Structure 1
Amino acid sequence: MRVGEGAAAVFVLNEERGVYIELLERCRLGEADAFDELVLRYQNPVYNLAYRLLGSHDAARDVVRDTFVRAYRGMQDFPEDARVHTWLYSIAGNLARNVMRDMDGERGVSEKRISVEDEDLLQDAIEQLPGHARIVFVLSTFEGLRYEEIAEAVGCPRGTVKSRMNQARTLLGDMLSPHGVV
């Protein structure tokens, strides 16, 4: 890293955070185009999270829709010190957990498919993780969130996030190693 690169990165992050704070303020003032912009910026990451958690495109689309409905209704309650993506991930994660509970009650283990392709095996294994470990694994692995951000999004201490991540890795290793996928 050259001298000054770190300062430039901090400036970009602070500038980006300022843009999002301004966008949220415009949303709070009821500007429809501001909320549309918020949805455009975050709908794909929220969808990716929901799909990785649920393994269903339809269920993921429902979670995305419901996430932004709740965000719109709760805009006035957005914590000033929070990050937009962790707030939205928190909403989406809670909604996905509700869907997972419903899905787990509807299907038995025998209905889960085992595919020959690694991606399908991984997705199947992720779907079999307990909900608390699944969301931590997906937020870290696929969304690139740090443990502190995950803790904020799911509402638990950082140490709990680490423990759940270790549990997810162990369970995934146990499920995937018989298939030669690790």
Structure 2
Amino acid sequence: MISIEARLARMALKGDQQAFAEIVGLYQDKLYHMAYRMLGNRQEAEDVVQDTFLRVHKNLERYDQSMKFSTWIYRIATNLSIDRLRKRRPGYSLDAESSEHEGLDGYSMLPSDDRTPESEALLSETQRTVHQAMATLPPKYKSVMVLRYLHELSLQEVGEVLDMPVTTVKTRLHRGRDFLRKKLERVL
């Protein structure tokens, strides 16, 4: 039996714009949350989602229908997120004054997350600490941890999304948990 996503992909490949819009509707929020968890930045997460749909649209003929559509689209978004993480290079200190903007340090130029007092109250201190620790994970562990624990994919699905054997997924989960445990022991 063919999935609804695979059917929509086939229709979109034939030029049905409404079918592609339905694919976007099905995955837009899920991909955004996954990218945001990996990148910790709203703008970058939105860019990843947009780039993902551009690649999906451009490469629909390459979609292998023997594979779950969700696995294929998550793989694209995860790889784009990992690419962005790899490109990040901390080349300056946030404490140093900017030469372009006299009197401003790096902290004052960081983008805001536009959090409201209400949303801040909802995030407990422990959740914040865990999210901060997750943000420091190396990309190879972060991608596995986000897909497994925040998106609740099975080990097999994580392996399919990241194109790696389940044994590698298990190893990276174990090492990622160890990394987090050590980091949180120092903080909590």
Scaled by the length of structure 2, the TM-score of the pair is 0.80
Q: Which one is further off, 20-29 or 41-50?
A: 20-29
Cα offset, 1:141, TM superposition? 0.4
2:169 maps to 1:161: yes
Change (3 A) 1:178 1:109: farther
* 2:131 corresponds to which of 102, 123, 129: 123
Partner in structure 2 of residue 52 of structure 1: 37
Partner in structure 2 of residue 135 of structure 1: 143
Scaled by the length of structure 1, the TM-score of the pair is 0.82
SS state at 2:134 partner = helix
Cα offset, 1:138, TM superposition? 0.2
SS state at 1:129 partner = coil
2:99 maps to 1:91: no
SS state at 2:53 partner = helix
2:152 maps to 1:152: no
Unpaired runs of at least 5, structure 1: 1-13
Look at both structures and tell me which one has the larger radius of gyration over its CA atoms. Answer: 2
Cα offset, 1:109, TM superposition? 9.9
Change (3 A) 1:107 1:171: farther
2:48 maps to 1:63: yes
Between the aligned partners of 2:91 and 2:56, the Cα distance in structure 1 is: 28
Between the aligned partners of 1:139 and 1:32, the Cα distance in structure 2 is: 29
Between the aligned partners of 2:44 and 2:72, the Cα distance in structure 1 is: 20
Between the aligned partners of 1:86 and 1:107, the Cα distance in structure 2 is: 37
Partner in structure 2 of residue 7 of structure 1: none
Change (3 A) 1:108 1:71: farther
Q: How many residues align?
A: 163
Q: Percent identity?
A: 30
Between the aligned partners of 1:145 and 1:107, the Cα distance in structure 2 is: 37
